[in-house]
Amino acid sequence: MQQRYVTLPDGTKVPALGQGTWFMGESQSHAEQEITTLKMGIEMGLSLIDTAEMYADGGAEMVVGKAIKGIRDPLFIVSKVLPYHATYQGTIDACQRSLKRLQTDYLDLYLLHWPGTVPLNQTVDAMQTLIMQGKIKRWGVSNFDVDGLLPLIQAIDDKQLMTNQVLYNLSRRGIEFDLLPWSRQHHLPTMAYSPIEQGRILTHPALIHVAKQHNVEPAQIALAWVLRTPDMIAIPKTSSPDHLRANFQALAINLSDDDLACLDSTFLPPSRKKPLEML
């Protein structure tokens, strides 16, 4: 079983399956388990770790900082700035705080967490300054729909934008109508958060049926479905070693046309434009 990779617009290859950290860092009693699981994932090859200043008010970044201590160089660390911090100076200051919590000198990727009221040119200018300062390697966005991406790409140089991180799973397929086709047209990889809908879809009969055909768990089928295309990165969160191993094993699952048809028959593809969903 091997990790798969997605190529970013600047040519960087990143793991298709990474580790999410939403809800980590919220309890001191769980911190050691969270750190241990992140380290285990790194050893497996899940070297992309996604976090954000919002998660547990920086607590998740502190957990990640402890997990990556001494093993930083081979990793791909992603964090995010809140939109109400995303003025020019606010973005630079927020990045510095994230770096301190993560105990690292740089981020591999820095994202604007969702669209806000701050003019995008301020955030973009700050991202470029952070790159020149060596504090981030590249930048992108999160929770942006087509109408938010259009003015952004018109205002920046080609290949500056590295990814758009959005909610995507079997029960949240709205992006397939227009956002995914647009992203593919512009060679912009998608990073999917909550790829198994935080477990809420795992008792669905269709998912259970396909899982039985492969002799695996429903969560592995849900994750394999998100990872079925070469331009998709998935960042499931888990602090369970068993779930972590199961997530990694999902990389080896190849869904057949019959499997996909079964899932499509109950998790319906979108037939019209829908507002971008967020959690």
pLDDT bracket for residue 73 (50, 70, 90): very high
Catalytic residue IDs? 55
Of residues 243, 239, 233, the one with CA closest to residue 48: 233
Of residues 40, 37, 71, 80, the one with CA closest to residue 193: 80
The listed CATH number (3.40.50.720, 3.40.50.150, 3.30.465.10, 3.20.20.100) that belongs to domain 5-266: 3.20.20.100
- Tens of pLDDT, residue by residue over 100-119, are 999 999 999 999 999 999 99
**Whole-number Å distance between alpha carbons of 110 and 66:** 19
**Does residue 158 have a pLDDT over 80?**
no
**Does residue 207 have a pLDDT over 80?**
yes
Task: Retrieve residue 72's tokens.
Answer: 């930083």
Please report the pLDDT score of residue 81 as a whole number.
Answer: 98
Residue boundaries of the structural domains of the chain? 5-266
Please report the pLDDT score of residue 155 as a whole number.
Answer: 84
pLDDT bracket for residue 69 (50, 70, 90): very high
**Whole-number Å distance between alpha carbons of 203 and 272:** 27
Which residues lie across from 167 on neighbouring strands? 193
Q: What is the mean pLDDT of the chain?
A: 96
- Tens of pLDDT, residue by residue over 229-241, are 999 999 999 989 9
- Tens of pLDDT, residue by residue over 80-91, are 999 999 999 999
pLDDT bracket for residue 154 (50, 70, 90): confident
Task: Retrieve residue 144's tokens.
Answer: 């942006």
Please report the pLDDT score of residue 159 as a whole number.
Answer: 79
Please report the pLDDT score of residue 107 as a whole number.
Answer: 98
Residues 6+ apart with CB under 8 A from 189: 6, 7, 8, 9, 162, 163, 183, 231, 232, 233
**Whole-number Å distance between alpha carbons of 116 and 38:** 31
